[in-house]
Structure 1
């Protein structure tokens, strides 16, 4: 009998490398309002807490910036039209998902990205593997609150004790702890290993296939 039967993944930085498209959309919005562009490394550090926090960190005046709302809207519109330009699964992800599917694991994605984008990207890249995809909406608390994880578990008819949560940031480690699931942190995403170690991830992996050794 399997120790775990459910795997819940973060999306950006875990399954998909979205960094270039996200950076392009932020910089489009910043340039539109005469602000200096941000480097891809800056954007990498800003990610993990949803688009509103991303723009808050990117604009010079933060949440009180006079063009915060305009930049947020411009970024969202640009990203919705350009989110597939450079985005792709990380090496080894498709092979991992294929193996998990063959072994009948229940699979979900839970993300702080806006729900519409999450569902579209998951359908485009992982539609044959992922059964449930949940993003940020107005009526459910985003990560690190456990609400979206609980929703995924309910839809999959699973439980926290039978689930592993896989993500790439401190937000994901905290989400797993809050939901009562074990956390596997990945080093190929948007945070460095030392951040994941400090947060107390249960496991840290460097390649997708290493997940099989943890859940097997």
Structure 2
């Protein structure tokens, strides 16, 4: 029998493919404010630390740019409307969550995406399986700080000893470490296995089925 009671997931790059919509909203804001737009590849390597940090990395000179706040506001307004134009679960993810739920695990999403979008996408795609979804707010430190994971565990009624984290980046590996739990690093997200290994990753899943087997301690 598995020692785990809860599985906590990252959202972007782990459960959902979201790069196209992020790119489109970033470029809408950049273009509107007279800045050069970004490629999909550039967006891929600038995500992971929340949308403000994403925009800091895309707007020339970041926070020092006088137009930053306007561009960031334009991004948020556009993304609220268009966060689901081209996004969706990775293949096998709905089935993974269903199997975990049916096996008795409590499931949560902890994301650096702002709270409204996190809750909206969770409700849209995973309302029957995800118990709690937490995104970025002003009141709590975002990942890799453990605060949002601790909040999720509190709501689920579990501890770090009986929880496991699933993500796709160095941010997720460090979040799990800071929260006192192991991290399953997935192969289909925004970072390569080499990058995950360099960040300290030790448990790897090539497919959603692998995630289930690791949680169940079958491998």
TM-score in terms of structure 1 length: 0.98
The yes-or-no answer on 1:162 pairing with 2:157 is no
Q: 2: distance between equivalents of 1:156 and 1:199? A: 28
Unpaired runs of 5+ in structure 2? none
Unpaired runs of 5+ in structure 1? none
The yes-or-no answer on 1:122 pairing with 2:102 is no
Partner of residue 9, structure 1 = 9
Q: 2: distance between equivalents of 1:29 and 1:215? A: 40
Q: 2: distance between equivalents of 1:196 and 1:30? A: 30
Q: 2: distance between equivalents of 1:59 and 1:212? A: 40
Q: Provide, for residues 108-143 of structure 1, a one-character-per-residue CA deviation record: whole Å limited to 9, x for no partner.
A: 000001011111110001000000100111111100
Q: 2: distance between equivalents of 1:206 and 1:70? A: 40
> What's the CA shift for 1:193?
1.1
Q: Provide, for residues 1-56 of structure 1, a one-character-per-residue CA deviation record: whole Å limited to 9, x for no partner.
A: 42111000000010000000000000000000111110000000000000110000
Q: 1: distance between equivalents of 2:94 and 2:121? A: 14
Q: 2: distance between equivalents of 1:62 and 1:4? A: 41
The yes-or-no answer on 1:103 pairing with 2:142 is no
Q: 1: distance between equivalents of 2:85 and 2:74? A: 17
Partner of residue 28, structure 2 = 28
Q: 1: distance between equivalents of 2:170 and 2:105? A: 25
Partner of residue 57, structure 1 = 57
Q: 2: distance between equivalents of 1:109 and 1:156? A: 11
The yes-or-no answer on 1:146 pairing with 2:125 is no
Q: 2: distance between equivalents of 1:199 and 1:36? A: 31
Q: 2: distance between equivalents of 1:24 and 1:189? A: 19
Q: 1: distance between equivalents of 2:61 and 2:29? A: 14
* Paired residue total: 216
The yes-or-no answer on 1:177 pairing with 2:177 is yes
User: CA RMSD, aligned part only?
Assistant: 0.7
Q: Provide, for residues 86-128 of structure 1, a one-character-per-residue CA deviation record: whole Å limited to 9, x for no partner.
A: 0000001011011011101000000001011111110001000
The ranges of structure 1 where at least 4 consecutive aligned residues each deviate by more than 4 angstroms after the TM superposition are none
Q: What SS does the corresponding residue of 2:45 show, helix, strand or coil?
A: helix
Partner of residue 211, structure 2 = 211
